[in-house]
Amino acid sequence: PEVFAALPDEYIDNLDGFTRDALAAAALAKSVTGRSVEPLPVPLPSAWRIQPPQIITFSFADIPVAVFNVFSTQDASASTSDTTPEETTSTATPTETPNDESAQTEPQQAEDIPEGPALPQILNLIASSFMGLELDTADDLIAIQLPPELAEQLGTDTLSGSLFLNAMANPEQLAAFSGGEGGDAGGFDLTAFDTQELVAALGECGVGLFDLAGGNVDFGQILLGCISTDAYAFIAEHDPTFVSSLDPAVFDRLPDEVLQLAAYAPPLDDVWNTLAQQPELGDMPLRTAADIVALGDGSAAQVLNTINNSVPARFEGYEVRLFDSLTPAILRYFSIHEPNFYENLDSAVLLKLSAETIAALPAEVIAAQDESVAEQLNAIASGEMSSAAAALAELYATDVPPADPDAPALNDMWQFVGAFYNIELDTADDFFRFPSNFPFTGPTDFMNSIFSSPQGAAAAPQLFGGLTIEAIEYITERDPEWLNRLDARGLQNLSEDVLAALPQSVQDRAVSGDEVFIPTAAITRMNGGASLQLTVFKSAESNTVEAYDQIKAVLDDINERNEDIDIAVAFETASFVRQSIEGVVREGTLGAVFAIIVILIFLSGGTWKARSRRMAGFTMVFGFAAVFVVLLVSNLGAAGGDVKAAFDSMDTVVRVLLLLGFIAGLIALVPGIHLPEPSVRSTLVIAVSIPLSIFATFALMAWLPPVIHAALGGMADQPIVAFILRLFPTDLTLNLMTLSGITVAVGRIVDDSIVVLENIFRQMQSGQSKREAILEGTRDVSQAIFSATLIAVVVFLPLGLTGGIVSEFFLPFGLAVTYALMSSFVVAITVVPVLASFFIDVDQIPEEQESSLQRLYVPVLRWSLARNFNTWVVIALAIVSMIIGQLLLVSRPFAFLPEFGEPQISVNVSMPPGTRITETDALVREFEAAINEQFADEITTVQVVIGQGGLGFDTLLGGASISENIANVALGIRDRETLDDLTRRIREEIAIPIFGEENVTVSGGSLTDSGFGGFEVVVSGADQQTLEAYNDLIIETLSNVEGLANVTSSLDSVGESGDGPQTFIRINGQAALSYSAELETEDTFGVTAKAIE
């Protein structure tokens, strides 16, 4: 109440009827229900809403699994078809009507319905005479089967019983059935019946033939009142849609005995919906008179009195519309279900009823009122005095000019809306007869205001759809420009026939919605044909390879089942992940194999006996040859039987290893050559440490982080603990970086084991027992190898602690190296000594002999240490080598990532701001045609994306928006060697002539070049003029830096006239401007310093 009281009078006066009723209903709800609930939150208009700040993080798990292009294999053909909007079937109400569950239930099938009570003869007589129907029992009124002629006339095979009774209650439809011209009994054609049958049928209903001929009898009431209560109950039981489909006129003619049935509560008018939607009413609907009785705990009078007494004075008139909507049947229903209803009802409520309802009041009810009230009631009923609703309308129409009697009529929905505004809206002339205090002055302003509220927008289809061409022509004659000012939504709700008769400019506004076209999707093509681009992401915990394989299987199945489409992979990360991991595993395995071979060679000593050497030689020759033949035969099938192709498809490293093994076997078979005996047992001891250390690394990656987090997680708010927890991420996976770290650590794993085993050998050679030699040898070097391990950890681990995207890359790498080195240290001081005690004996240790390497190295070392001059020469050579190495280092280009993905030529088009997407598409089509004509042999695929930046990281990560002047063309090439030349030729011969030099950039490379192959220089200034003064100078300076290409500025997109997109930035309340310059380079880090300078 205090809120309503605080509203200014001028604000209340300018409110539309919908809003006034909503405020009045909100004030009434608590009084009527006695409930107090928390108000529901009301969403603000979109212009008021501020999105909460969002923290956007980047992870390489956010890169999509794949991007697919779906395109047709058929020639594209455009087809058009006329579409007819569905007819509006919602009720004529400005508010949402609650769902009636019973109305949604289908009636029983006719064969399942038993025979019902008998119907009156007069009903069957009318149905058989004028409709060819037989209506003998109540079940015949459920899904009435129409004769063929009538079914064709009405457009349906069946007629519901409710529609039939609605027709019986409508005098005009009765006259149409009888062939008469009047709307009452006097107009009913009695000669159409057999007199004897008619007299008998009317007699059953208590009516004589002469009573009917007198013209004072409501024939509809005779028909409906003659149906028995049992018949009504039967129909309601077997057809749940029957009662809800009856017109109010039917309820007015039902006997009291029928209204006593629970199912036959008369419906309330839609004006009650606003009150029913208040949160205080909760699950209490206001659809029928029974709901008002239930709301008052059995007393409808109490509810009506409360409404009349509680409506705020500033919103008086709402209760008048509520009470004016109460029909005579509703009042009768109240009096039947509340015996003292009229005695409990305030006289003020009676005075606000409609004239029709007051006229139907029992005489004793009017007689029981005060003399003045009775006089007013009788005056309203007789038409001598206006009803409350009519008086309220007259109050706002005192200064309205006289109506035009020839103006086209409006539909009932406009009259309904007029009642909300307390104005007349009966004819098109009423749009020009608004009262002087009305907030709208003409039809356009008033009609446009309808869309300002949800209730009005909901009623728009009925309002505008009911406007006839005559009404529109009448309004246009008096206001020729009103259609040009009418909201496009109003035009869109006009009927098709009316809209087709209007000028083409008006039709165009209706089609476009009077809004600037803003595309919501990019245009994509594949090899000249329209395509659909699908970008597929995975959850962070999903396996990339498995996810892609499942997606590919689904798309392959779709591809096989649809011959008219094809699905091409534009980008996918699974093959890169698969190949990278397979490559790392392969290289790591080969590294371990090579390490074992080298160990086997350098741990050898003594002389290899001829017999064992020949056995080893034969084994190696035949073994490696057999493996080679097996691999070659297995590749023949894929190579089509071509031996050379099968040989070429074999892994190069595998071929070299097999060849070297075969040659080594042959050398072992050559007699007379002195070969050292391989130390197989020593090699085996060291070789075992490699898989053990790797498996231990996997175990640490899986189990150590959860243990650390469980132990220290409660103290994560302390900085030192948070730092420690960061060193133990729980989401480590076997990926490219972790496997690379393990591969790098393989050499160090072997180093620790070799150092321990060599020192054990030395202790054994000094004469100690095996046990003492193992203990002493391990103890002597344990501290040294621990220090070496710690130093390696200190070198590698900080790579992952730098923060940012570098940390995302190298923290898994550093942790994998750390875990591997920790595992190798543990294996070297535990497992290696144990294995040495089993496999190594003193007599198996070869005698120390000067090796070939020693014979080369020792003289050089002696020369270096012989004189000071020689020593300084060595130092000088070392310094010179370091300087040369640094010079070679800085001469190489730097990049964040190596190139991966297929090489392609990217053509990035950025037309001037304001270029429509259709214009951009036309230029791109011209470019495609030129590519296909001039470079068909060099280009494999042409992928087009218009409206986005193509397959750069911004698009892949979902950060791209629709820009009509932006396009990207990705050209797949056949030969990587021709990339640079093709890029230059396409830029100079096609791209620049078509798009203009300032509107296009052409670059060659892979996906990493577009994602990480450049950088931005952000320049901030006090105002735009300052930035514009330096814009050209900065671009020119950056363009002169060697290694930079395609330098652009975001300031250019604002446009010379200032009509381009603008962004206003304020920092601490002070206006600021910024722009960024984008460029491309192959040497990301190397040119940064130059660019800044």
- Contacting residues for 1004 by C-beta, under 8 A, at least 6 apart: 903, 904, 905, 906, 979, 980, 982, 983
Q: According to the model, what pLDDT value does residue 5 have? A: 66
Tell me the average pLDDT across 996-1007.
Answer: 79
Is the pLDDT at 1064 greater than 70? The verdict is no
What is the pLDDT of the chain when averaged over all its residues? 76
- In angstroms, the Cα distances linking 391 to 350, 354, 581, 864 are 15, 11, 87, 123
**Cα 251 to Cα 12: distance, rounded to the nearest angstrom:** 38
Q: According to the model, what pLDDT value does residue 1059 have? A: 45
Query: pLDDT for 646-670, tens place per residue?
Result: 888 887 778 888 888 888 888 878 8
Phi, psi at 1070, each rounded to 5°:
-100, 135
**Cα 134 to Cα 154: distance, rounded to the nearest angstrom:** 18
**Cα 297 to Cα 746: distance, rounded to the nearest angstrom:** 86
Tokens of 435: 């009262």
Angle in degrees, CA 1081, 1086, 1088, rounded to 5 = 80
Is the pLDDT at 81 greater than 60? The verdict is no
Residue 581 confidence class, pLDDT cut points 50, 70, 90: confident
Closest residue by Cα to residue 907 from 937, 942, 936: 942
Query: pLDDT for 779-806, tens place per residue?
Result: 998 888 889 888 888 887 776 666 666 6
Q: According to the model, what pLDDT value does residue 91 have? A: 33
Tokens of 42: 């009301």
**Cα 738 to Cα 746: distance, rounded to the nearest angstrom:** 13
Query: pLDDT for 194-206, tens place per residue?
Result: 667 777 777 777 7
**Cα 993 to Cα 988: distance, rounded to the nearest angstrom:** 7
Residue 1070 confidence class, pLDDT cut points 50, 70, 90: very low
Query: pLDDT for 462-520, tens place per residue?
Result: 889 889 999 999 999 888 888 888 888 888 889 888 888 888 888 888 877 765 555 55
Q: According to the model, what pLDDT value does residue 876 have? A: 93
Query: Can you spell out the DSSP letters for 733-747?
Result: -S-HHHHHHHHHHHH
Comparing 586 with 75, the larger pLDDT belongs to 586
Choose the weakest-confidence range: 131-140, 748-757, 1045-1054, 1081-1090: 1081-1090
Comparing 704 with 183, the larger pLDDT belongs to 704
Rounded to the nearest 10 degrees, what angle do helices 219-226 and 161-168 cross at? 140
**For residues 847 and 606, is the Cβ–Cβ distance under 8 A?**
yes
Residue-wise over 710-730: b if at least 16 C-beta within 10 A, else e?
A: eebeeeeeeeeeeeebeebee
Q: According to the model, what pLDDT value does residue 514 have? A: 60
Residue 1055 confidence class, pLDDT cut points 50, 70, 90: very low
Q: According to the model, what pLDDT value does residue 397 have? A: 52
Tell me the average pLDDT across 937-960.
Answer: 64
- pTM of the predicted protein model: 0.47
**In degrees to the nearest 10, what's the CA dihedral of 912, 1041, 973, 646?**
-160
Return the percent helix, strand and coil in the chain, to nearest 5: 60, 10, 30
**For residues 466 and 414, is the Cβ–Cβ distance under 8 A?**
yes
What ranges in 728-803 are assigned the alpha helix state H? 736-765, 770-796
Residue 1067 confidence class, pLDDT cut points 50, 70, 90: very low
From first CA to last CA, the distance across the chain in angstroms is: 69
Q: According to the model, what pLDDT value does residue 145 have? A: 78
Q: What percent of the chain has pLDDT over 70?
A: 77
Query: pLDDT for 626-637, tens place per residue?
Result: 988 888 888 887
Q: According to the model, what pLDDT value does residue 60 have? A: 56
Is the pLDDT at 188 greater than 60? The verdict is no
Angle in degrees, CA 875, 880, 883, rounded to 5 = 130
**Cα 547 to Cα 582: distance, rounded to the nearest angstrom:** 17
**For residues 965 and 921, is the Cβ–Cβ distance under 8 A?**
no
Residue with tokens 């539309």: 16
Comparing 749 with 293, the larger pLDDT belongs to 293
Comparing 895 with 623, the larger pLDDT belongs to 623
Q: According to the model, what pLDDT value does residue 880 have? A: 94
Tell me the average pLDDT across 26-49.
Answer: 72
Tokens of 1045: 């290409």
**Cα 584 to Cα 133: distance, rounded to the nearest angstrom:** 87
Q: What does DSSP assign to residue 908?
A: E
- In angstroms, the Cα distances linking 828 to 673, 740, 781, 955 are 36, 22, 10, 50
What ranges in 325-361 are assigned the alpha helix state H? 328-337, 341-344, 347-350, 355-359
Residue 1081 confidence class, pLDDT cut points 50, 70, 90: very low
Is the pLDDT at 375 greater than 60? The verdict is yes
Tokens of 681: 């047992």
- In angstroms, the Cα distances linking 288 to 63, 265, 273, 338 are 58, 6, 11, 15
Query: pLDDT for 110-119, tens place per residue?
Result: 557 888 888 8
Q: Is 931 helix (H, G, I), strand (E, B) or coil?
A: helix
Closest residue by Cα to residue 178 from 130, 109, 244: 130
Query: pLDDT for 812-867, tens place per residue?
Result: 888 888 888 889 899 889 988 998 888 877 666 666 666 667 778 888 888 888 88
Query: pLDDT for 722-750, tens place per residue?
Result: 878 877 888 777 777 888 888 888 777 78
Q: According to the model, what pLDDT value does residue 746 have? A: 78
Closest residue by Cα to residue 385 from 375, 400, 398, 396: 375
Residue with tokens 């992940």: 577
Residue with tokens 């007689």: 367
Query: pLDDT for 516-574, tens place per residue?
Result: 555 556 677 777 777 777 888 887 677 788 888 888 888 888 888 887 788 877 777 77
Comparing 898 with 972, the larger pLDDT belongs to 972
Is the pLDDT at 755 greater than 70? The verdict is yes
**Cα 472 to Cα 444: distance, rounded to the nearest angstrom:** 12
For 772, half-sphere exposure in the C-beta direction (CA atoms, 13 angstrom radius) is 7
Is the pLDDT at 212 greater than 80? The verdict is no
Residue-wise over 403-414: b if at least 16 C-beta within 10 A, else e?
A: eeeebbebbebb
**Cα 939 to Cα 907: distance, rounded to the nearest angstrom:** 13
Choose the weakest-confidence range: 27-31, 99-103, 615-619: 99-103
Query: Can you spell out the DSSP letters for 689-705?
Result: HHHHHHHHHHHHHHHHH
Is the pLDDT at 182 greater than 70? The verdict is no
Phi, psi at 1047, each rounded to 5°:
-80, 125
Rounded to the nearest 10 degrees, what angle do helices 121-130 and 171-178 cross at? 60
Tokens of 736: 């490219």
Choose the weakest-confidence range: 265-274, 400-409, 602-611, 769-778: 602-611
Query: pLDDT for 323-374, tens place per residue?
Result: 898 999 999 999 999 888 989 999 999 999 999 999 989 989 888 899 898 9
**Cα 217 to Cα 211: distance, rounded to the nearest angstrom:** 7
**Cα 633 to Cα 963: distance, rounded to the nearest angstrom:** 56
Is the pLDDT at 1035 greater than 60? The verdict is yes
**For residues 1084 and 1012, is the Cβ–Cβ distance under 8 A?**
yes
**Cα 538 to Cα 551: distance, rounded to the nearest angstrom:** 10
Residue 1078 confidence class, pLDDT cut points 50, 70, 90: very low
**For residues 885 and 976, is the Cβ–Cβ distance under 8 A?**
no
**Cα 298 to Cα 292: distance, rounded to the nearest angstrom:** 8
Comparing 607 with 145, the larger pLDDT belongs to 145
